[in-house]
Structure 1
């Protein structure tokens, strides 16, 4: 039993070491890893050496800094390829980004945040980094609002206490009363929107994705800089496109939908 406990602790510590590389900085010293993972220096060094031998971290021979290894990409690719939403959404999202020239994102809910499964950037909305695997707040994004349509007001309050409704810009929703009203609006229209609520100068339009049981399992959004997305003039067109794309993915997941399911016709 003691051996099992020790083995479990080693696995947990190794996973904690891997997770510190996803928190922002891509290259870390042993001392950085030890501090961020709350481990002793010798323990952190031993775990990094083990992970390096397994291909999950790489060490720069000149600087001595560690970064995630390419074998983690293999794991991530295997996870995505086996995920039903990713399989159904990938081609639709890629085509949409090419057609619109905007960013197209698909995310699921992981606990109290949204988790990006994929993103494609159009020519008018370039990014210098990959969104897949990253997280964002639910209350400050169109994707998050669409994902929250699958929860009751009571469930939303349990998931997101008032202190979690952090203001990222002056436009961010910061009370549950505001969030309730926005979720009701999202349900009524069939799509959610976000205008500079998470970051200034950016906006998005999003719609929920449902599985065969009708459960909201993901959301799709079109996003970009204000000048490119031009919500004032293009919201009706973009919302129709986003709803149709989300519905196509939902159908691929087995959703047949109630007759009163919101559609672009109600815009």
Structure 2
């Protein structure tokens, strides 16, 4: 089975152009490296490919390749054969199984989100920008890590939520203005920025590799962080929320989210 890179030139209207194909500029450079490994393994089919040949074909240094192989085996994207070589694993086969793909991707993402929930000790959200609207498509929460109360529809609160702001930063300026023309910047808490000009300026300043924050702008008592999670034509993000009394954990949790989100991006990209 062929595993393809998303085409950086295949952008939907309103998407900002991708930066140059430089691993140092990518939010998740390890994902690109993982694609190299999976593409190499897929070319060799069920017979498997040795670690030495993987290293030659991918150009990855031994230590980095070993870590990737460990991760990809753990996620079942690769399987290790008896002779020590590697072949495409069960997870990739399921993701390509026609009508089963949607369910397989959903389940894979949910498992990854549950792992992130445990690692960050925070509720986890998967957000997407679809048909001009902010949508939260999956949530991983638990009694000890409760989700935020959606007291205002997320679609109407992009200016105040970490998810919404993170998604809007991935659009161009005109697309952001068009979105805000349909969803006014209403005051939701005393911390909400209600000036459209100020919201747009903040979005322009946001750095792609730095988590987007919501410090009680959407809901009193909750703080959030989000990072981009974009695969192919889709504009997405992954976010977390914490009760305000745990604000002291937000920075570390957001850094963990940024580091670990690559596994979700891999599932979305295959």
Q: TM-score, normalised by structure 1?
A: 0.54
Cα distance, 1:170 vs structure 2: 1.5
Question: CA distance change for structure 1 residues 138 and 127 in 2, over 3 Å: closer, same or farther?
Answer: closer
Q: Aligned to 2:206, what secondary structure does the other structure show?
A: helix
**2-structure distance, mates of 1:249, 1:201:** 28
1:247 is aligned to 2:267? no
**1-structure distance, mates of 2:122, 2:142:** 4
Cα distance, 1:210 vs structure 2: 0.9
**2-structure distance, mates of 1:199, 1:130:** 8
Structure 1 match to 2:181: 161
Q: Aligned to 1:90, what secondary structure does the other structure show?
A: helix
Cα distance, 1:249 vs structure 2: 2.0
Question: CA distance change for structure 1 residues 126 and 80 in 2, over 3 Å: closer, same or farther?
Answer: farther
Larger radius of gyration: 1
Q: Is the 8 A contact 2:156 2:183 kept in 1?
A: no
Q: Aligned to 1:150, what secondary structure does the other structure show?
A: coil
Question: CA distance change for structure 1 residues 223 and 157 in 2, over 3 Å: closer, same or farther?
Answer: same
C-alpha distance after superposition, 1:204-243 (max 9, x if no partner): 01111111x3x55211111021113x1xx33432222121
**2-structure distance, mates of 1:140, 1:129:** 14
**1-structure distance, mates of 2:150, 2:184:** 25
Q: Is the 8 A contact 1:219 1:246 kept in 2?
A: no
Give the number of aligned pairs.
171
**2-structure distance, mates of 1:243, 1:105:** 13
Q: How does 1:192-211 map to 2 (within 5 A)?
A: 192-211=212-231
Cα distance, 1:95 vs structure 2: 1.0
Q: How does 1:1-267 map to 2 (within 5 A)?
A: 82=102, 86-126=106-146, 135=155, 137-161=157-181, 164-211=184-231, 213=232, 215=233, 217-228=235-246, 230=247, 233-254=248-269
Structure 2 residues without counterparts, runs of 5 or longer: 1-98
Structure 1 residues without counterparts, runs of 5 or longer: 1-78, 256-267
Structure with greater contact order relative to length (CA < 8 Å, sep ≥ 6): 2
Q: Is the 8 A contact 1:101 1:121 kept in 2?
A: no
Q: Aligned to 1:164, what secondary structure does the other structure show?
A: coil
Q: Is the 8 A contact 1:85 1:218 kept in 2?
A: no
Q: Aligned to 1:96, what secondary structure does the other structure show?
A: helix
**1-structure distance, mates of 2:199, 2:138:** 26
Q: Aligned to 1:210, what secondary structure does the other structure show?
A: coil
Cα distance, 1:113 vs structure 2: 3.8
Q: Is the 8 A contact 2:135 2:154 kept in 1?
A: yes
Question: CA distance change for structure 1 residues 174 and 241 in 2, over 3 Å: closer, same or farther?
Answer: same
**2-structure distance, mates of 1:126, 1:208:** 22
Question: CA distance change for structure 1 residues 111 and 176 in 2, over 3 Å: closer, same or farther?
Answer: farther
